[in-house]
Each structure stands twice: as structure tokens, then as C-alpha cells.
Structure 1
Amino acid sequence: MFAVNSIRLRQALAALLLAATSLGGHAAEPKVLRYAFPVAEIGFDPTQLSDIYSRTVTAHIFEALYAYDHLARPIKFKPLIAAALPEISPDFKTFVVRLRPGIYFADDAAFKGKRREVVAQDFVYSFKRFADPALKAQGWSTFEEADFVGLTALRKQAIADKTPFDYEREIDGIKALDRYTLQFKVVNPRPRLLQSVLAGNDLRGAVAREVVEFYGDKIMGHPVGTGPFQLKSWTRSSRMVLERNPDYRERFYDAEPAANDAEGQALLARFKGRRLPMVDRVEIAIVEEVQPRWLSFLNDESDFAERVPNEFITLAMPGGRLAPNLAKRGMHSVRTVGAEQVLTVFNLDDPVVGGYSADKVALRRAIGLGIDVEREIRLARRGQAIQAQSQIVPHTTGYSETFKSEMGDFDTARAKALLDMFGYVDKDGDGWRDQPSGAPMLLVRNTQPDNASRQLDELWQKNLAAIGIKIEFKTAKWPENLKSARSGKFMIWGVGSSADRPDGQSALQRLYGPSTGTQNLARFKHAEFDALYDRMQGMPDGPERDALFLQAKRIGVAFMPYKVHLHRIHTDMSQRWMSGFRRPLFWQDWWQYVDIDADHRQSH
């Protein structure tokens, strides 16, 4: 009873502190951050997520051992729940991490009124969940390739025996040495284990076993972490409300921007020493159509326009500069080339576009050559992108601004010649190319019911008609299309992909055979590529690894399981009463680093 009452007392005191001002005793206006997601979330259990929108929410609820320094460019890591950077053996096979005592999960009914401290065993449990076959964890491939001693064997045993995953069985790969000490052991060297597995609040934060067992199959709607925010309400595909965690520990704004980084230094000077988070509440609406999303920002109904819609970019940022009328209103803009890609996925198991024979490869390459990406950038994306040449994205190792390949070519004549050479000609006289066997050929591309997707569909139809290929579109919501892609029940789909770490090899996971069904949506299987990928995992960064990146990129271009179109340029815009935003590159958490001047907004 005392534990229950003490928690309630602390929460009541926290509420009073938030409500009081330093002068006059008047109630302070809560600082509320309001903005919209363009795509619906899936849920909030880290093991079951891959989409960026759900992960943006979980990134503010959960906390990993390490976090990115949000202002540092180049990227730096810093301890979050860990007390210091890991102790790493010279062979990159053993990592020891010591936790900072006194960090607690947010209060929840699952804890039965007791304060629940984070301990080393919580990370053992959280990481093992990704290996549990019953959960079908979207991030399992990352843990599998991390090569933790005994983890894959534990998973395989559960599959073979058709028994529940054995969480109690201790393995050398992920072990709690004591209450606050973790030891990780990997079979092969993993120089980048910190960035691949030990950092990233969105997916690799601490999850309490009591919470998972308490909520069971409803865990997607009950995230409980140690982070700065708690989920207070959720209307699926419509609205999410998060509030400041009243029990969040003392944590203060700090960072290490480069000395010549004027923007980063200015942010540090303004906010250094402020207690985090600086806002009290975050309200997120799902607004899929671009016009109402943009109008809600212009009408001051939202504080932040994340990724200003391309349809309005020429009005908002003519010539790449903030429009005078918006500048007069005190709005701010941030323009960033994203560490991401937009790509077309071909299902390699599909009987029409899949396969590895010369004619099937020729078909995919011809489709790639027939897509006018420059026109897509100019018209559909209003210039807000740069052409891609490979699967590797900007800001990551392996990316080169000078690399050039067929991936970036638009050549209708060459596309037609390839199709003619391999027998994709009109055999029945209906004006459309048929398959080499003589069977009719109809391509089906999955798409979404929004205006941006419709514009892209029109470009696809026009481009493929120009090379004699008939295509139709299958429309569904984005989560449904993702489900179809993961199960291999599709032919072609267009999707975006964001890097979650500075290492470019994470993008190559889309081509890695063992990642089929998770990151490898194309279901591409190529022994030479897989061997190359495995070699890269254990190598330190340097010229030798860079040479392997080049080989990997060339294989991706040659077989074309994906047509990588572009890397998007993001323009984010905030109202004059919101400050502190800087677009994250590889991480999703940023709400705690921004401030809202509630009085200024109220007086507007």
C-alpha cells in the first residue's frame, strides 16, 4: 500500500509542478506539440515494427543502452541507460556494458504499485524477444546477423521442437553478469555492434517482462518504457496522445556539435542545461491527404509540418528559400537530404517479374530503364530529391556521390531493345508486349489511396506504355501493402526506406537472402552476394571494406531486384513558437529536444 501511495503522491506533485508558474501562482499553459503523420501507425511493440511512424512513437517511450548525440555531425554515440561506452575486446567478439543504477520504468498496472528499476536482465529479455519465432519479429534479421553466441540455436530449437521459446535458458551471447552488468558475445567479429544493436530507442529499448505478460496479445497498445513520454490514448489510424512521464529521471539538454557547425552550436547555446523533455504533451493526428495536412499547419492548428508535402513546396520554399509571407509570420524551415531511399520492389518469387534467368533479369532491367526518375523528381516530387545510383543512402558508409550506374539511367530505346532481344514482343496483335512463352503479360503494382501515389501511378502508366508494357494498380492502405510484401503476395510495390545507423551495410540487408520476409522484401537470393555480405560484417571500416561495398552495389544493379529511384530532400517547417528542431538522420527521437512557447502561441 505504501508503494502505491508513494507513486501516486509523486505523480500528484509532478502534476502540481507542471501546473504552477514562478510568478503570480497562475496555472501555466501546458506545452503541447501538435503535428500529423501522413501514414497510419501499426502499433507499439518494438519486436513487431518496421514502419517509421510507429517507431517514431516507440522512440520516445523506450530507451536503449546508447543514443545518438542529436546535434553531432559526424555522428557520435553517447550512453543513455548505459553508464559508459562498452568495454570491447580486441577481437570485437566480447562487449561488456554497465548500466546506470536508478533508472525506472514508467508507472503501470503491470508493476502492481511498485517502482520498477531497469536492470541488466531486462535487456537480456528484450533482445531475446526478437528471437522468439512466435513473435515473428521484424527486426530478427538484425539480431541474427549480429551473431550472438547461442541465440540462433535457441530460436531454431523452439522451431524444431514446436515448443515455446525458452526465455529462461541462459546463453553466453546475451547475459546479465550481475544486476547492472551486461555481457555480449558474438561468434564472429562485429566492430559495429554498438550502432547495429545496442543503440536505437525505437526498436532496442528495454521492455519489462511483467508488462508483456500482463497485456499478452494486447501489448501493441500498451508500451511501457523508461523514456520521457507515455502513451495516454490511442485511436488506431486516427490519433495518438503522449504525455510527459512524471517519473522521468533528471536529464538535461547537452550535445557535442562540431566547432564549425553554426546551427548546432546555436541550439546548444540556447538550450544547454534545460531539463528534458521540454514539452508536456504530444498530439499526433493521422492525415493521409496532403492538402488538409498542410492547411492545418497554415491555419496554426499544428505546430510542425514534418516533410512539407511536395505539392506545396514551391509555395512554401520558392527557389529553396522560405516564402516571404511565411517568413513574415516567423516560421522556420530546415532542409535535409535524407539518409533514405525510394525504391521499387520486384517480387523475385513472382512468375512474371521474378526469377534469375536472363529473360527475367532483362525484364526488370528494362522496366528500370523505362522509368523516368528525373521526371518523377521534377513533377511528382517538385524537385525534392536527388537521383539514386545504388542501394546505399547518403550519410552512410559505402555511399559515394561519384558512383554512377544503370540504376540512374532512363533510356527508352535501350529498354525496348532489351525486351525485343529476350522475346517480350506483341504476339497477339493487341498492342502490348507478351511474355516470351506467348502468354499475355500484365504487371500489377501495389499502391496507396492518396494523391501522391496517384501521381506516381500516372507516371508509371505513361512510362511503361512507352515501352509497350501493360500495367494496372492494386490499391490498399500502406500497412496492408506491407503485410502483402512481407508474405510475398505481390508483384511490384513502391516503398521508402530510411537508414537507422551510419553503416551503409544496413541498406544491403534488403538483398541478403537470410533476411527474406523481413528487410529483404524482394526475396532476392544470391550466394555470391550473401558471402560478400557476411565478409563485410566482421571487417573494420576502411578501403578493403569499401571495395566490397562496390561489388555489392554492382550485383544489385545487375540483377535489379529493386529499382532504386531517389534519395528524398526533406523540408520541415515549424511555427514561430516552436524551437529546437533539427532533423534526425538515423534516429527517431526528437520531441524531448524541442520547446513550445505556449504563451506566444496563445497570444497569436
Structure 2
Amino acid sequence: MSRTQFFAQATSRALLVALTALPWCLPAAHAADAPAGASSSAAASATPLKVVRYAFPAAETGFDPAQVSDLYSSTVIAHIIEPPLGYNYTERPIRVQTVTAAALPEVSADFKTWTVRIRPGIYFADDPAFKGQKRELTAADYVYSLKRHFDPRWKSPNYSSLQDAELPGLEAVRQKALDQRKPFDYDAPVAGIQALDRYTFRVQLGKADPQFNLNLANPLLFGAVAREVVDAYGDEMMGHPVGTGPFKLTQWRRSSRMVLERNPGFREQVYESQPAADDAMGQAMAKRFNGRKLPMIDRIEFAIIEAAQPTWLSFLSNDFDLVTVPLEFAATAAPGGKLAPNLARQGMSLERVLRADHTYTYFNMEDPVVGGYTPDKIALRRAISLGYDNSAEIRVARRGLGIPATSMLVPHTTGYDAALDFGFSEYDPAKAKALLDMYGYVDKDGDGWRDMPDGKPMVLEYSTQSDTTSRQFNEQWAKYMKAINVNMKFIAGQWPDQFKKAKAGTVQIWSLGNSATSPNGANFLEEAYGPQTGSGNLARFKLPAYDALVDRIGQLPEGPERLALIKQAQTLLAAYMPIKPHVHRFRLMVSQPWFLGYRDHPFARDFGRYVDVDTTRQPAVRKD
């Protein structure tokens, strides 16, 4: 379908308004759209540009690792700013590999001391902040970048997770800045992280953490940012990501469009993969790409399109190379889980992936209705869980794109075992009613709804959003709560506003999702970890016995003892039910026939580093 035909068929005024967000509808960017000094190095090329276009379903926050935590911002950041370690894009099972590090970290026997050596000769992308000088990456850049998460100025959403690592000295410097209301002292020596020489830094932990190397693979936690860049741009850092990665940000229109172009100063790097013999997809990719210089493309264009219909229709019009299929179009794109015949005939490809995530509902443990640790409050939460059917949610609202969550941990992470069932997805309305009756949650005034044991009306307040998908989930909740005579009221609001309320502890019940950023499955236990209250622990669950288990798990290497403690921790959560996991979601990714080398990865976000475009197969309207 051509663009002209597409617009002719899009008669809905709302649809036409939504389509104005598409990248090909946008006028050329003005100088103000791009960071100072940005240039289009690929524009002068005599060969066709290799451009990848992809749409995010929600807006980004910005591109400063110290200030963001959302998926879409981190995807952009991962293409620009590099941590010492990363993940092999092609190989399965997941393998950690070096990125800027010369080798994997040296770790002490007690898992408290981690020494990282950086390869010499890696340079930041050119930027006016460097005043015309080439700027080499050094160990001091990683020391500085980690310290930024402790600087109160940046209000880092990643601070709490690093705080748990107990990096000696950093908390004291942070507290001094808060107490004296002075700038954070980046030059104050701390034992927690030190540059030993130009290319070596050491992280000293206050407690053992055998999984700490996974933090070194996270560009939000350990992405290298130069101090000169922060000094130059200050509060404008969100729009000026400067890194050592394969791409540069050259255009940004907030909540609309982001353009990344190949970094002309990127070091020599080649595609390297050694997939397992039984991994047919990995073997094919390795055969095709091994030895190729990276990146293979010239530009990535990200658009923000929140509505499902224009996203899907624009992909069919060849305006995107890759699409995360919206739920509303899952049956159209992949009936029965297989690529639709009409799409297959066009040479498109489908990847159906079980994501390393879960959706969950939490109960505010400080709320007077659903919170508390007494038997009657536990019974109420367990009854609500038993009265809601996760499997029906998958069939109806999720179009079959998920599996019931039977544990707190998620697929593709260590400790996850699909055979373990802690009852989070058990559906038994008869048992739910019996629990409520037993603990006095009965209809005392004859209005058809259950009341509190003291006779006061019981109304559950479920926070939600106003979009179509959220309304479908609300209908599921209303249906199943009515079946056990529980009155549930829905409080709609914008997601950012609801999130602020959740962090402040003023939300009673809310559902949201969480995606893994590393293979460490125990990270999901922090959704109920006491010290994370108000950040990762929105349920505000505080149980010393549980917190002690999580602390101990974090200090153990992989093995039977660790797995046994993870099981104990989940048993406690199933008993107290501060959180009800719902679903591990499937993601449907459909790509155009000219888009090559994409493979969905549960943790690596920098897919643009590894993909290619066959410009000879693109429609003429798409060639740049």
C-alpha cells in the first residue's frame, strides 16, 4: 500500500491526527532539534543510506543514564553510551561479554572486590564539550558516572539499587551534600569505587554480591559519561547523551521523534558469535554476519506512536522496518501464533518471544483496608487473588499472548522454574468466598456487597489508566470481584501521576509490569524488599524474615542453597500476598523482508549495533 492509498483509506479524523507523529510526516529538523555539534556524517555517502525505523508505544523520558529508568529511554541510551560489559546479541543461552573492558572482571573470593580493566584507545564521540580535542575513555569516567547516581542533584531512580550494594563512602558523600546543601563532592576519595590507574577501576562492596558483574552490563548503572559533558550541559543533560557507542543522537523532538546516526569515530568492532549447534537462528545469523564491521547501518529513527491502529497500518505501508505488534492486531498478524499468510507472502518474518517480565497487582500494605499482617487482612488479599482468573485475562484481554505467572521470578532469569507453582495464578472463587466468610467479610447491610468485619462498607480502590487496553483489564477485575461480592471502584489517571502516588504510598491497589534488566532472577524479589519501600517495593511490604532471606540470597553464588532460599522467599510472599503476579507476556515482533539480523534479546537493548538493511529490497519510496 502506498502512502497516498494509506491516507485515502484513513478516513477517521482521530487516525489522521495520530499519524502526524510518523517520522515521514515530520518536517526536517531545525538546528534546535539536535545537540550542538551534531552532524549527518552519512549524508555525503554515495551509496544508499541504511536506515532502520521503529516506533515506541510510549514516550521517552530523556537520555541521561543518571536520570532515567524507563525501557524506551534506555533503548536509545544503549546505542550511545557503553558499560564495560554487555551481552552477546546472538547466542543462547545468554552470555556476558566485554564491551569496553579488556577482559571480564577480576573478582575476589568473597565477591566483594571487582577489578575492571578498560581497553585503551576507545574514544567518546566528538562533541563541543571536548573543545576540539579527542577524548579517550578512562577508568575515571566510570568512577564519575557511578557517583552521579548518588548525587542528589540528579534524583537518580537507580540510586536505591546501588545503595543496596553498600559501596563504602558514597552514602556519606551524598549525605554531606544533603546536610550542607552543597554540590556533591566528586573528588572526595571513597573506598566503594576507585580508579587505580588510567585504565583500571575497582569496585569495593560492603557485602558479597556474586551477581555484581551484571550491573557492569547495564548502561543505566555503568554507562560511561564524561565529566566535561555534564559540566557543559548541566540540567540539559537529558538531551545531550555523548558516549563511546556506535551511534550519536542527532535529532530529538520530545515525545515524537529521535534520530541516531552512525558515530564516525566509533572504534573497529566486528560481529562475533558462536551459537550452540542446535540454535538454528543463531547459526544462520553467525554464518551471515560473523566478521562484518559494526554497525552495519547508518541511522535509526525512533517515532512515538501510542495508538495501536496507526502503528500497525504504518508498518503495513512500509514506513517501519520492525514492529512490536499491538495486542489489538495480534490475531491479524499471527493467527494461532504463526505469521499471517498474507504477510509471509511478502517475505516478512515473525519472532514470538516469551519476555523476561511479569505483570502484577500489588496491595498497599499500609492501607487500612487491604494492608496489614493480621490473619483477616491476609485472608482478604488471598481471597482477592483466588477470585481473579489470570488465565481468562490471557485469553480475553491479552489475546493469548502470555502464560500464567506461577512464581515471582520471570523467564530467562536464574532461579526461574516453570514447574514451581506458588499459587499466584490459582483461580478458586469458592475458596475465595469461604475465606471472606470465615474472617467476617460478609454483607451486613443487605446491599449485595461484602462489608468490613466491623460492619463498615468495603470498597476496593483500584488505580488504573483511561486508555482502551486498561479499560479491558478493568472489566476483567470488575467481573471477577462482582462474582465474589466484592465492590471495586476504579480510579483513572495518567500513568506518571499514578506512579508518583504509588511511590508516595497513596495508592491502594495497582497493576503494572516489570521487565528484567539482567539474568539475575532474584532481582524480582525486591518488589517486596523492605529497604526498597517507595521505589522498587511499591507494596511497602516489610517483613524482617523476608528481608533477611533476600539479603542472604544476594550474597550467595548460583547453586542449590541459593535456589532453596529463593523458594523460601516466594513461599512467604504467597502466604502474605502483598503482590499477585499475573502473566509472563509474549511479544510478537514482525520485520520487513529487507530488515536483517534482528533477534529479540531479553536484556540487550542496542539491537541497532547488530542489524543490517538490504537496500536493494526496499520499496523505492523508502530509500534515502
Bin for the TM-score computed over the shorter chain: over 0.9
Q: Which residue of 1 aligns with 2:247?
A: 229
1:496 aligns with 2:522: no
Query: How big is each residue's C-alpha offset from its partner over 1:563-588, in whole Å with a ceiling of 9 and x where there is no partner?
Result: 10010111111011101011111222
Tell me how far 1:202 sits from its aligned partner. 4.0
Change (3 A) 1:389 1:245: same
Match of 1:99 among 103, 118, 126: 118
**SS of residue matched to 1:523:** coil
Q: Which residue of 2 aligns with 1:3?
A: none
Contact 2:122 2:137 in 1 (8 A): yes
Task: Give, as a single letter, the amino acid of the residue that structure 2 aligns with 1:53.
Answer: Y
**Distance in 2, Cα, partners of 1:50 & 1:423:** 42
**Distance in 2, Cα, partners of 1:589 & 1:162:** 38
1:508 aligns with 2:525: yes
1:38 aligns with 2:61: no
Q: Which residue of 2 aligns with 1:256?
A: 274
Matches within 5 A, 1:539-578: 539-578=556-595
TM-score normalised by the chain length of structure 1: 0.93
Tell me how far 1:479 sits from its aligned partner. 2.9
Task: Give, as a single letter, the amino acid of the residue that structure 2 aligns with 1:192.
Answer: Q
**SS of residue matched to 2:66:** helix
> What is the total number of aligned residue pairs between the two structures?
585
1:522 aligns with 2:539: yes
Deviates further, 92-101 or 200-209: 200-209
**Distance in 2, Cα, partners of 1:34 & 1:243:** 12
Q: Which residue of 1 aligns with 2:471?
A: 454
Q: Which residue of 2 aligns with 1:422?
A: 439
Q: Which residue of 2 aligns with 1:149?
A: 168
Task: Give, as a single letter, the amino acid of the residue that structure 1 aligns with 2:412.
Answer: H
**Distance in 1, Cα, partners of 2:468 & 2:38:** 45
Q: Which residue of 2 aligns with 1:110?
A: 129
Q: Which residue of 1 aligns with 2:70?
A: 51
**Distance in 2, Cα, partners of 1:383 & 1:60:** 32
Query: How big is each residue's C-alpha offset from its partner over 1:39-72, in whole Å with a ceiling of 9 and x where there is no partner?
Result: 2212222122222111111111110000111112
Change (3 A) 1:347 1:235: farther
**SS of residue matched to 2:517:** coil
**Distance in 2, Cα, partners of 1:293 & 1:494:** 25
Matches within 5 A, 1:369-380: 369-380=386-397
Query: How big is each residue's C-alpha offset from its partner over 1:422-449, in whole Å with a ceiling of 9 and x where there is no partner?
Result: 2222233332222223332222222233
Task: Give, as a single letter, the amino acid of the residue that structure 1 aligns with 2:585.
Answer: R
Tell me how far 1:159 sits from its aligned partner. 4.0
Task: Give, as a single letter, the amino acid of the residue that structure 1 aligns with 2:235.
Answer: D
Match of 1:67 among 45, 69, 86: 86
Task: Give, as a single letter, the amino acid of the residue that structure 2 aligns with 1:246.
Answer: P
Contact 1:39 1:478 in 2 (8 A): no
Q: Which runs of 5+ in 1 are unaligned?
A: 1-9, 21-26
Contact 2:321 2:591 in 1 (8 A): yes
Tell me how far 1:162 sits from its aligned partner. 4.7
**Distance in 2, Cα, partners of 1:361 & 1:11:** 57
**Distance in 1, Cα, partners of 2:320 & 2:275:** 29
TM-score normalised by the chain length of structure 2: 0.90
Q: Which residue of 2 aligns with 1:218?
A: 236
**SS of residue matched to 2:424:** helix
Contact 2:86 2:99 in 1 (8 A): yes
1:138 aligns with 2:164: no
**Distance in 2, Cα, partners of 1:278 & 1:11:** 20
Tell me how far 1:505 sits from its aligned partner. 1.0
**Distance in 2, Cα, partners of 1:72 & 1:561:** 37
Query: How big is each residue's C-alpha offset from its partner over 1:191-214, in whole Å with a ceiling of 9 and x where there is no partner?
Result: 12111x211224421011222222
Contact 1:289 1:451 in 2 (8 A): no
Contact 1:11 1:246 in 2 (8 A): no
Tell me how far 1:327 sits from its aligned partner. 0.4
**SS of residue matched to 2:552:** helix
Tell me how far 1:478 sits from its aligned partner. 2.7
Contact 1:516 1:524 in 2 (8 A): yes
Matches within 5 A, 1:431-442: 431-442=448-459
Q: Which residue of 2 aligns with 1:398?
A: 415
Tell me how far 1:553 sits from its aligned partner. 0.8
**Distance in 2, Cα, partners of 1:208 & 1:344:** 40
Task: Give, as a single letter, the amino acid of the residue that structure 2 aligns with 1:207.
Answer: V
**Distance in 1, Cα, partners of 2:142 & 2:587:** 34
Tell me how far 1:160 sits from its aligned partner. 4.6
Q: Which residue of 2 aligns with 1:587?
A: 604
Q: Which residue of 1 aligns with 2:371?
A: 354
Q: Which residue of 1 aligns with 2:309?
A: 291
Q: Which residue of 1 aligns with 2:209?
A: 190
1:241 aligns with 2:259: yes
Query: How big is each residue's C-alpha offset from its partner over 1:453-489, in whole Å with a ceiling of 9 and x where there is no partner?
Result: 1211111111111112222323333333323322323
Contact 1:58 1:203 in 2 (8 A): no
Tell me how far 1:311 sits from its aligned partner. 2.1
**Distance in 1, Cα, partners of 2:301 & 2:579:** 36
Contact 2:65 2:219 in 1 (8 A): no
**Distance in 1, Cα, partners of 2:167 & 2:203:** 7
Q: Which residue of 1 aligns with 2:27?
A: none
**Distance in 2, Cα, partners of 1:450 & 1:107:** 42
Task: Give, as a single letter, the amino acid of the residue that structure 2 aligns with 1:128.
Answer: K
**Distance in 2, Cα, partners of 1:244 & 1:347:** 46
Task: Give, as a single letter, the amino acid of the residue that structure 2 aligns with 1:448.
Answer: Q
Task: Give, as a single letter, the amino acid of the residue that structure 1 aligns with 2:558.
Answer: D
Change (3 A) 1:109 1:261: same
Deviates further, 39-48 or 565-574: 39-48
Q: Which residue of 2 aligns with 1:80?
A: 99
**SS of residue matched to 2:441:** coil
Contact 1:289 1:450 in 2 (8 A): no
Contact 1:201 1:589 in 2 (8 A): no
**SS of residue matched to 2:300:** strand
Contact 1:66 1:81 in 2 (8 A): yes
**SS of residue matched to 2:164:** helix
How much identity, in percent, do the aligned residues show? 52
Match of 1:344 among 335, 353, 361: 361
**Distance in 1, Cα, partners of 2:144 & 2:549:** 31
Task: Give, as a single letter, the amino acid of the residue that structure 1 aligns with 2:285.
Answer: L
**Distance in 2, Cα, partners of 1:437 & 1:535:** 40
Task: Give, as a single letter, the amino acid of the residue that structure 2 aligns with 1:70.
Answer: Y
**Distance in 1, Cα, partners of 2:108 & 2:48:** 51
Task: Give, as a single letter, the amino acid of the residue that structure 1 aligns with 2:299.
Answer: R
**Distance in 2, Cα, partners of 1:435 & 1:165:** 50
Change (3 A) 1:534 1:267: same
1:268 aligns with 2:289: no
Query: How big is each residue's C-alpha offset from its partner over 1:489-510, in whole Å with a ceiling of 9 and x where there is no partner?
Result: 3222211111111111111111
1:389 aligns with 2:387: no
Change (3 A) 1:377 1:430: same
Contact 1:290 1:451 in 2 (8 A): no
Q: Which residue of 2 aligns with 1:5?
A: none
Deviates further, 309-318 or 339-348: 309-318
Q: Over the residues paired in the alignment, what is the CA RMSD in angstroms?
A: 1.9
Q: Which residue of 1 aligns with 2:41?
A: 15
Query: How big is each residue's C-alpha offset from its partner over 1:53-92, in whole Å with a ceiling of 9 and x where there is no partner?
Result: 1111111111000011111212211111111111122222
Tell me how far 1:103 sits from its aligned partner. 1.3
Deviates further, 323-332 or 513-522: 513-522
Tell me how far 1:546 sits from its aligned partner. 0.7
Q: Which runs of 5+ in 2 are unaligned?
A: 1-36
**Distance in 1, Cα, partners of 2:534 & 2:274:** 39
Q: Which residue of 2 aligns with 1:301?
A: 319
Change (3 A) 1:125 1:262: same
**SS of residue matched to 1:389:** coil
